[in-house]
Amino acid sequence: MNKLLNIDELKASAWPSLLEQAFGENLISAFLHGNCLMEGFDALHLPWTVSFILKDNSPAEIEKLHPLVKRARKENIRFGYFFSPKEIVSALDTFPLEFLHIANRNVSLCGITPLSGFEPHREKLRLQCERELRGILVHLREGFANTHPGKDMDAFASESIREALPVLYGVFYLQTGHYPESHQQVFERFPGLTEGNPIAAINGIVDQVDSMEEK
């Protein structure tokens, strides 16, 4: 068994039927999402992330995947999230950014399209983006203080941008009402990210997000 190197190979593989057989009528959706659908993903070195919506996402049900774990690793697949419909509804105000990503960047392997038509509560999304960006800034300032100038600083800047990008997709959505099609759209909206120290740029973006607060 070789690694699956693109989405077409994965969809044409035995995996959709294996997942349907494992969960039977309990399966609502099995889908790709996350970094494996973002620009720069390298299937030679990074795994495909497959997540699930199950009628029952108890440990006893999830355990049905255990016989497939060894094969999944060999074919470059990791199992991600396991949601139930009830859990999704109850967590809409807790994880609006994660659900925004799933709704707008997914590939269904079997079952329904996940979170079709989902639109996050604007204020809940704003609060999550602000909270996560402020947390990122705390760690970036610490990292900046302990980074040597030169090539190390270039690597620091690249890693800082990589860490912030998933949240900046949410900020882009807040400001435009649209989910960005690419990293480039995010960079064009926030040019300071690639024009100097990203800490200052992210700090400015936090101020923008803070100014969106509902009065």
- pLDDT tens string 186-197: 999 999 998 878
| Interatomic CA distance for residues 112 and 168, integer angstroms | 28
Name the pLDDT band for 12 (thresholds 50, 70, 90): very high
Instruction: Count up the domains in the chain and report the number.
Output: 2
- pLDDT tens string 24-64: 999 999 999 998 998 888 988 899 999 999 999 999 999 99
Query: pLDDT at position 155, please?
Result: 83
Query: pLDDT at position 158, please?
Result: 85
- pLDDT tens string 115-164: 999 999 999 999 999 999 999 999 889 988 888 776 677 788 888 888 99
pTM: 0.91
Query: pLDDT at position 215, please?
Result: 53
92/152 same-domain check: no
| Interatomic CA distance for residues 10 and 158, integer angstroms | 30
Nearest to 1 by CA among 74, 105, 100, 98: 74
127/107 same-domain check: no
Domain range for 181 is: 122-211
Query: pLDDT at position 1, please?
Result: 57
Residue 200 identity (one-letter amino acid): A
73/167 same-domain check: no
Domain boundary among 82, 111, 140: 111
What is the chain's alpha carbon radius of gyration, rounded to the nearest angstrom?
Answer: 19
In a domain, 2, yes or no: no
